[in-house]
Chain A
Amino acid sequence: MYRIGIDVGGTFTDFLLIDEAGNTSIYKVLSTPEDPSIGVINGIQEMADEKKITIIDFIRQVNIIVHGTTVTTNAILTERGAKTGLITTKGFRDVLAMRRGIKEEMYNNKYVAPKPLVRRYLTRGVGERTKVDGAIIADLNKEELLEAITLFKKEKVEAIAVCFMNSFANPKNEIEAGELIEKEMPDKYLTLSCNLLPQIRLYDRISTTVMNSYVGPIIDKYLDNLQHKLVDLGFDGALLIMQSNGGVMSPEVARKMAASTLLSGPAGGPVAGMFYSDILKFDSSVTVDMGGTSFDATLVVKRLPMVITDGQINRLRLALPMLGMNTIGAGGGSIAWIDEAGLLRVGPQSAGANPGPACYGFGGSKPTVTDANLVLGYLNRGFFLGGKMKLDQGKAEKAIEEGVAKPLGLDTIKAACGIYNIINVNMAAGIREITIKRGVDPREFPLIVAGGAGPIHSGMIASELEMPVIIVPKQSSIFCAAGMLMSDLKHDYVRTYQVFFSDVDKERLRKTFEEMKGEGIVTLETERISKENIEYVYTLDIRYTGQVNEVNVQTEENEVEEGLMEAIASKFHQRHEELYGYCTEDVPLELINLRLTCIGKTEKIQFKEMDFQGRDCSELIKKKREIYLEDKNDFSEVEVYDGEKMGYGHSLKGPALIEQITTTVLVLPGWNLTCDKYGNYVIYVKSKEEEMQKRIFS
């Protein structure tokens, strides 16, 4: 039997096929944006062709397909979602557009706010009111709702969102409105805020509910197409959809929780990161993906991908749990420029693929990161994409000379070095956003580097953040697809139990978690996960009395089972001090929310282990090349290894370069490299030699 991981991207759809013995193969087909399911089937066809069997015979041998998709993300980015109508409480019509009155670029008199996903005339306030304590002081005005429905019908609205003031405290009016809409417009996509996100903050809830309806019909139609095509072919295995929080879900859940697929594409990243760091017995990691225009960074702490609830998609608020991914405009195509103060900046503008970096020779004249990498000798002009594309060193030099060196009064090399350093610092800052800024110290974490452009820069990024270990997966192009096959089913539960620490009813604490556990078990059983394969993560939202924002503190099972409040309190004080620079142990604590994440462990794919190839790989040295090394302030000759032939055990010392067709790895002076049993490159600071050898070979 086979499993398939599918990552549908904007340009390519990547497939990872793996059999029970752990043999893997990779496929890549062009995406078909008008109906992405066509591309998916094309890829499966290609697999069958290669096996010289019919697609029908092949698909019967597939028991799991895990699927990440960007259809919903693209709908938001291109403003091509469903025509959506919004029903809200009378008097609160503009909460979505107002965005709490924030202007992101404060001093820019010409800054324009993002356009709301629903037009104002399709946002209708209806009479009804619930107070913040849940008391209903006005029943739903059905006549006003019917008027709005009439308008929606006339305007051919395709999806509807309902979000009433304080419905998180009592959803009765919202549910009634939902029933009436369902009756009147039964075939339209409908989201009620109380089902999607029953928590306080009207703006967060409206924005998230609207986004869900806006992309709902799109994912619904897409999954419908895909499921039909698969069923027609005779597929009777499980189709699972990657969700933004790094877990997977069934297509039925995905259709209802459409907005939770908005990061479905890249969500496989951290899970894959977890797999690669697992091999070396690390339980936390930072995963980065550097492409041509953007750089994504995600975080795993203690085997859990970092999930946030204060995220945005395209400047629009999305309050559902999603991976804490930080995307910045930094990539191989990022353009270097001099700002008006005469300081060098790199990005966020990118030369993209066309005209691309100057050295591509497609007419680009602006200096980019790729040009700097070529000038510094890190890229091989004759071996880019394995030699399929020639790079023009002269054009790269000229662009850097004109754009950076002359204005700053530096020589070309120093200028190229500046571009290289600035982009590295920008990327390091992107990692800092999701680690240090959120109170996580990355200094003991491995940095896992995906994407073709990443491994030239990872050494400097790791140095900047004092991260001692870098892992470059052998096949980084299918990184996300691999992550999908390794993802578990994941469901999050929350209960509010607002009480002073001193008054906590330990029995209630225990029982509430018990109750959430029960719900998790039932849901996961319907997804064919048995009890013994479920893991639980217990966290509590706690604050000092008088504060409004809580700190989420992870606890042990026994601490909540036995109500060990003092142990929990000391964890909170410590966390508060780390995050905010102080703690006040004399102020009483308040418990706010109890959170449980239930993880249904799926059977993980096993990659095939390589045989030990010996340590010495000196015969894989292709040649030597001059590259710029900052610590020497000059060019030095380093050895260039043939990465395509490297395998388990091969070791070398920096400075060195490794060339593969799709990527180049730069090993800096002071760093050593050893290949692990799957052929991944593990690069670490010299002082960690002994520890890393143990991790790699034990």
Chain B
Amino acid sequence: MNAARIDPILASIINRRLQAITEEMGLSLLMSSRSPIMFGARDFCTGLYGPKGEMWAQAEYIPAMAMAIQPSLFYLLEYYGDEIYPGDAIIANDPYCGGNHLNDVSMYRPIFFKDALVGWSATKAHQADLGSCIQGNYNPLAKDIWSEALRLPPVKVYEKGCFRRDVWDMIFANSRLPFVVGGDMKAQIGGCVVGERAILALVERYGLGRLRAHIDYILNSTEQQMRNEIRKYPDGNYEGEDFIEFDGLNIGKRYRIKVTVTVEDDEITFDFNGTDEQSPTYCNSSATSTKSSVLTGLLTLVDPYISHNEGVLRPVTIKIPEGSILNPKYPSAVAFGNHMADQICMTMYKALHKAIPDKVTAGWNFMNSFMYGGWDPRKKKQFFDLGWMELKGGGGAPFGVDGYDHVGSIVCLGGVMAHDPEIRESVNPDLITKYEYEQDSAGAGEWRGGLGSRTISKMEGEKVMASFFGEGFEKGPFGLFGGKGSQPNSVSITYPDGRTYCPGSKEVVYNLDGCILDSFISGGGGFGDPHRRPVEKVKEEVRDEIISIKMAKEDYGVVIDPDTFEVDYEKTEKIRSSRPLVEYPQELKKY
């Protein structure tokens, strides 16, 4: 049989199956893991790749991490050459070997059919602890990669089906939570095995040659689709910039992120020339993190149903000056880099907002969370987690619908879950007293931003410490086309004796026993002039206490009686007609 003869129908079938397999791999991790970061929040990704590392399909619960699975695979292919065998499992996390940051640990398993390398199944997950002086490995004062966590260039933990106990034990001699992290890495291997079994079933069914030919066809078709999407953008150069406000050390110093987007027919280039030099702290985005952030942002600006495989990557070029905050030199620290995706994506949105105003959104919430841990006196063991509820701010509003409420950062796109409050209290010694939308947190607009939220909790553990990590403490997300921005993030700590302390956006704080943590994360920016928002919608949201009577009047120009919740149409009309509406650009007027 001629292997190269393509049946377009079979290609559709295989494409669908590949996607389903990555989801089955994800289910394995979700159901069998031990760290709340994984079972509770879904901070992991899975993927399938070709023998040369070409991306076939991914399950992207945290998109910015998903786009970072492939670069380490390229690295290890080069590194091992022919020394890849059936039954291997290879672990890697080093940003200088293709990784993004050290907490995100990849596991790769080659898939062999007889002697032929069919492809790779891989899982990548945020692991709870890999040593260094700060539990959880977010150390704002880290000066280099060695101060962050254990570096793992590609290392085989299984070779030819044999478990390498010595390597395994060496790795977990370097973790504060060997039982949890060890178990979760076993779960990562399990996820890879689930993928391997399913791919081999496909090979047996269709034959290797036929499978490969059809996957190539899928990648080529997706490439064409991606090129068609880019062709919809008007050609030109578009510039945007945003800032990182604080590197964790140098108060008052800020870092510019600048992008020039060039659209030329069916190709697109993101050039970060003009971005500031790298920081001396962990506030640097590794090249992998930066590329992965760009791809995440770009994929929100094309057909949301496009398959995520090698094809979408081909028409995209990303240039990042070496030594900049988005591509630091070895051996810089990079832990915070993942979260700079927020600014990278916002820079892209700002650059493109005039070219494709119906695709971008207004500004999204910036990160505001913490890694924390200590002793759980109820269970008599260490606990460690992340503030997942705290990081659920609002999405920016697009043209046509309101921003997504309580969704979290744009790098997660709502794939990562907040803990259930009862599960959080059961796995961590916390007492949550508030976890609600914050009134007036959404930027006003014809379409408002998504709502931000406030979480207040009492730390009831012992020797509790937290490494706060965030941005946007000075300036909130931006609005578009007359839409308003929203407030900055904030955190405060109240000690048992009543004193309070407001940590910076990046700071490690010890001695939190008995303290109350109050975190506010902003909503998203609004889109379009708020005076365009229908009065009835404003009235409804005042009734629902999502916006205040004051904001209704000041931002939306709608006057509402505080007792009856009825609209004073006369006064409303007067305010709304007192100034002309902010115009939309031509492209949006056609709707």
Interface residue ranges, A against B (CB under 8 Å): 91-95, 97-98, 100-113, 119-121, 131-133, 165-166, 168, 200-204, 339-345, 408, 410, 417-418, 421-422, 425-426, 429, 432, 436-437, 544, 546-549, 551, 576, 579-582, 584, 587
Among A94, A111, A168, A581, the residue within 8 A (CB) of B28 is A581
Determine the distance from Cα of A103 to Cα of B60 in the docked complex, in whole angstroms.
Answer: 12
Interface residue ranges, B against A (CB under 8 Å): 8-9, 11-13, 15-17, 20, 24, 27-28, 30-34, 36, 39-40, 60, 63, 179-180, 183, 186-187, 189-194, 197, 218, 221-222, 224-225, 228-229, 299-301, 303-307, 311, 359-361, 378, 392, 395, 398, 400-402, 404-408, 413-423, 425-427, 431-437, 453, 456, 543-546
Cβ of B225 and Cβ of A342 under 8 Å apart? yes
Residues of B within 8 A of A200 (CB): 420, 422-423, 426
Cβ of A422 and Cβ of B183 under 8 Å apart? no
Can you give 25 contacting A-B residue pairs, CB < 8 Å? A91-B436, A94-B406, A98-B418, A100-B419, A106-B414, A107-B63, A107-B304, A109-B301, A109-B361, A168-B422, A201-B423, A341-B221, A341-B224, A418-B8, A421-B13, A425-B12, A426-B16, A429-B16, A437-B24, A547-B33, A548-B33, A548-B40, A579-B28, A580-B31, A587-B183
Residues of B within 8 A of A92 (CB): 421, 434-436
Residues of A within 8 A of B434 (CB): 91-92
Known contacts A91-B433, A105-B304, A106-B60; decide if A546 and B183 are in contact (CB<8 Å). yes
Chain A CB within 10 A, most for which of B11, B378, B420, B427: B420
Cβ of B418 and Cβ of A100 under 8 Å apart? yes
Residues of B within 8 A of A166 (CB): 422, 425
Cβ of A110 and Cβ of B398 under 8 Å apart? yes
Cβ of B20 and Cβ of A432 under 8 Å apart? yes
Among A132, A544, A579, the residue within 8 A (CB) of B426 is A132
Determine the distance from Cα of A343 to Cα of B17 in the docked complex, in whole angstroms.
Answer: 14
Residues of B within 8 A of A437 (CB): 20, 24, 27
Residue of A nearest to B413 (CB): A106
Residues of B within 8 A of A432 (CB): 20
Determine the distance from Cα of A133 to Cα of B183 in the docked complex, in whole angstroms.
Answer: 26
Determine the distance from Cα of A438 to Cα of B453 in the docked complex, in whole angstroms.
Answer: 35
Residues of B within 8 A of A103 (CB): 395, 404, 407, 413-415
Nearest CB in chain A: distance from B335 CB, A: 23
Known contacts A340-B306, A547-B32; decide if A91 and B417 are in contact (CB<8 Å). no
Nearest CB in chain B: distance from A419 CB, A: 9
Residue of A nearest to B42 (CB): A102
Cβ of A343 and Cβ of B34 under 8 Å apart? no
Residues of B within 8 A of A342 (CB): 8, 221, 224-225
Determine the distance from Cα of A131 to Cα of B457 in the docked complex, in whole angstroms.
Answer: 13
Determine the distance from Cα of A551 to Cα of B190 in the docked complex, in whole angstroms.
Answer: 15
Determine the distance from Cα of A111 to Cα of B414 in the docked complex, in whole angstroms.
Answer: 11
Residues of A within 8 A of B20 (CB): 429, 432, 437
Cβ of A100 and Cβ of B427 under 8 Å apart? no
Chain B CB within 10 A, most for which of A342, A418, A425, A576: A342
Residue of B nearest to A340 (CB): B225
Q: Would you call the interface of chain A mostly helix, strand, loop, or mixed? A: loop
Residues of A within 8 A of B304 (CB): 105, 107-109, 111
Cβ of B12 and Cβ of A422 under 8 Å apart? yes
Cβ of A102 and Cβ of B417 under 8 Å apart? yes
- Give the tally of cross-chain contacts (CB within 8 A): 215
Nearest CB in chain B: distance from A634 CB, A: 16
Residues of A within 8 A of B359 (CB): 109
Determine the distance from Cα of A184 to Cα of B177 in the docked complex, in whole angstroms.
Answer: 53
Determine the distance from Cα of A203 to Cα of B421 in the docked complex, in whole angstroms.
Answer: 8
Among B12, B221, B431, B545, the residue within 8 A (CB) of A131 is B431
Determine the distance from Cα of A204 to Cα of B417 in the docked complex, in whole angstroms.
Answer: 14
Cβ of A94 and Cβ of B222 under 8 Å apart? no
Residues of B within 8 A of A113 (CB): 404-405
Residue of B nearest to A91 (CB): B434
Residue of A nearest to B417 (CB): A100
Cβ of A344 and Cβ of B414 under 8 Å apart? no
| Known contacts A110-B400, A119-B543, A548-B39; 10 further A-B pairs (Cβ under 8 A) | A97-B437, A100-B420, A120-B545, A340-B228, A343-B221, A429-B17, A544-B183, A549-B30, A580-B31, A581-B190
Chain B CB within 10 A, most for which of A165, A202, A548: A548
Nearest CB in chain A: distance from B87 CB, A: 13
Residues of B within 8 A of A549 (CB): 30-32, 39
Determine the distance from Cα of A2 to Cα of B176 in the docked complex, in whole angstroms.
Answer: 69
Determine the distance from Cα of A549 to Cα of B180 in the docked complex, in whole angstroms.
Answer: 14
Determine the distance from Cα of A371 to Cα of B420 in the docked complex, in whole angstroms.
Answer: 48
Cβ of A546 and Cβ of B24 under 8 Å apart? no
Determine the distance from Cα of A436 to Cα of B15 in the docked complex, in whole angstroms.
Answer: 18
Residue of B nearest to A167 (CB): B422
Residue of B nearest to A137 (CB): B431
Determine the distance from Cα of A91 to Cα of B421 in the docked complex, in whole angstroms.
Answer: 11
Residue of B nearest to A204 (CB): B420
Residue of B nearest to A587 (CB): B183
Residue of A nearest to B416 (CB): A101
Residue of A nearest to B14 (CB): A425
Nearest CB in chain A: distance from B259 CB, A: 19
Nearest CB in chain A: distance from B120 CB, A: 15
Chain B CB within 10 A, most for which of A94, A100, A111, A119: A100
Residues of A within 8 A of B9 (CB): 344, 417-418, 421-422
Residue of A nearest to B451 (CB): A94
Cβ of A98 and Cβ of B189 under 8 Å apart? no
Determine the distance from Cα of A601 to Cα of B307 in the docked complex, in whole angstroms.
Answer: 50
Residues of A within 8 A of B392 (CB): 98, 101
Determine the distance from Cα of A544 to Cα of B34 in the docked complex, in whole angstroms.
Answer: 9
Residue of A nearest to B301 (CB): A109
Known contacts A345-B12, A547-B33; decide if A132 and B433 are in contact (CB<8 Å). no
Cβ of B63 and Cβ of A106 under 8 Å apart? yes
Query: Which 8 pairs between the two chains have the least Cβ-Cβ distance?
Result: A103-B414, A581-B193, A582-B190, A581-B190, A120-B544, A108-B304, A341-B225, A106-B413
Determine the distance from Cα of A112 to Cα of B397 in the docked complex, in whole angstroms.
Answer: 11
Among B300, B427, B432, the residue within 8 A (CB) of A109 is B300
Residues of B within 8 A of A587 (CB): 183
Determine the distance from Cα of A572 to Cα of B322 in the docked complex, in whole angstroms.
Answer: 52
Known contacts A107-B304, A581-B191; decide if A425 and B16 are in contact (CB<8 Å). yes
Nearest CB in chain B: distance from A442 CB, A: 14
Nearest CB in chain A: distance from B275 CB, A: 25
Determine the distance from Cα of A549 to Cα of B42 in the docked complex, in whole angstroms.
Answer: 13
Cβ of A202 and Cβ of B32 under 8 Å apart? no
Determine the distance from Cα of A94 to Cα of B299 in the docked complex, in whole angstroms.
Answer: 30
Nearest CB in chain B: distance from A360 CB, A: 25
Nearest CB in chain A: distance from B567 CB, A: 16
Determine the distance from Cα of A432 to Cα of B225 in the docked complex, in whole angstroms.
Answer: 29
Cβ of B221 and Cβ of A94 under 8 Å apart? no
Residue of B nearest to A133 (CB): B378
Residues of A within 8 A of B420 (CB): 100, 200-204
Residues of A within 8 A of B24 (CB): 436-437
Residue of A nearest to B396 (CB): A109
Cβ of A580 and Cβ of B28 under 8 Å apart? yes
Determine the distance from Cα of A546 to Cα of B183 in the docked complex, in whole angstroms.
Answer: 8
Determine the distance from Cα of A101 to Cα of B412 in the docked complex, in whole angstroms.
Answer: 10
Residues of B within 8 A of A422 (CB): 9, 12-13
Cβ of B225 and Cβ of A93 under 8 Å apart? no
Residues of A within 8 A of B400 (CB): 110
Among A106, A112, A121, the residue within 8 A (CB) of B415 is A106
Cβ of B414 and Cβ of A576 under 8 Å apart? no
Cβ of A98 and Cβ of B406 under 8 Å apart? yes
Residues of B within 8 A of A202 (CB): 420-422
Residue of A nearest to B223 (CB): A341
Residue of B nearest to A92 (CB): B435
Nearest CB in chain B: distance from A52 CB, A: 56
Known contacts A105-B304, A422-B9, A581-B189; decide if A95 and B421 are in contact (CB<8 Å). yes
Residues of B within 8 A of A93 (CB): 436-437
Chain A CB within 10 A, most for which of B419, B423, B453, B546: B423
Cβ of B546 and Cβ of A582 under 8 Å apart? no
